[in-house]
Amino acid sequence: MNTRWTPWMVVGTLSLTGILPYPAQAQSAYSISASHAQGLTGSQAPVIHLWPGYGTNLSFIPTNESIVRVWIDDPSRVALDFDEPLCPTAAASDCVSGRPSVVHLRRIEGLAFENLPRASGTLLTVITETTEGDRRLYEFRIAFSTGEPDYHTVVVNPTSPIDPLLSPGDVRRGLQVAAARGLIAQNQDLWNRLQTFLRLAQGGLAVPAAADQAGVSPDLITRLAQWGANARDDPPLNSTDL
């Protein structure tokens, strides 16, 4: 089966200016997928680090969900605040606002709670409500770090639009097809970023988070995965180092 290549694929999908909207350097925020935080990917719950003297924001703004309930298993070392009043339900009539979408976490000096065991970290559980009234459960491991923060905000993004039948293996094959057609070369920065994405995704990181950390566009990942899926029945390509 042959993949049909058209100019808009090359210009719109593999253009360096069109698919690399973020710089390669570390940023003040990093993204995780909603499916990862909901425990749907088979990976451990994502980690949120807290540093002394700095708060960390947990944002559900991209998912358009309202926070309705939060538990922190060790309240002796973590203080919570919200961008709007936290209400029992998003539609509670007696609540002034009731649609918070950001949790602000601050590390505090350990308080003495009777019969509360101490551990190296703790668990944050967040219940959200969608605009349709459906509830979702998210879990995050809280870790306590030292030094300067690596980030200040953790952003929960909607689950990747990539079809669940498409996999990192399809992305790898799609990249192989693109290289065979001369659309991308191993000496390009984009190539290295895609290799980083593949390592992260095949290591168990959710696709949106892997794409964000590697600095590649989810649209590009989707397109490569589609090309790779279309090429599953093609004869094997010669290159094996992709």
The residue type of 8 is W
The whole-number pLDDT of residue 221 equals: 87
| pLDDT at site 4 | 43
pLDDT at position 40 is 77
DSSP code string of 123-138:
EEEEEEE-TTS-EEEE
- Do the Cβ atoms of 200 and 30 come closer than 8 Å? no
For the entire predicted model, the pTM comes to 0.58
Sheet holding 47-50, edge to edge: 47-50, 135-144, 121-129, 66-72
Q: Which pLDDT score is estimated for 138? A: 97
Confidence at residue 2, expressed as pLDDT on a 0 to 100 scale = 44
Which pLDDT belongs to residue 1?
A: 43
Task: Give the per-residue pLDDT at 228.
Answer: 84
CB 48 within 8 A of CB 29: no
What residues contact residue 87 under an 8 Å CB cut-off, 6+ apart?
68, 95, 97, 98
Divide the 242 residues of the chain into consecutive groups of 10 and give the mean pLDDT of each group.
38 37 52 84 84 94 93 90 76 66 90 60 93 94 91 85 68 90 90 92 78 83 84 48 37
3-state helix/strand/coil string of 33-68? EHHHHCCCCCCCCCEEEECCCCEEEEECHHHCCEEE
**Structural domains of the chain, ranges and CATH numbers in brackets:** 7-25+162-230 (no CATH), 41-157 (2.60.40.1080)
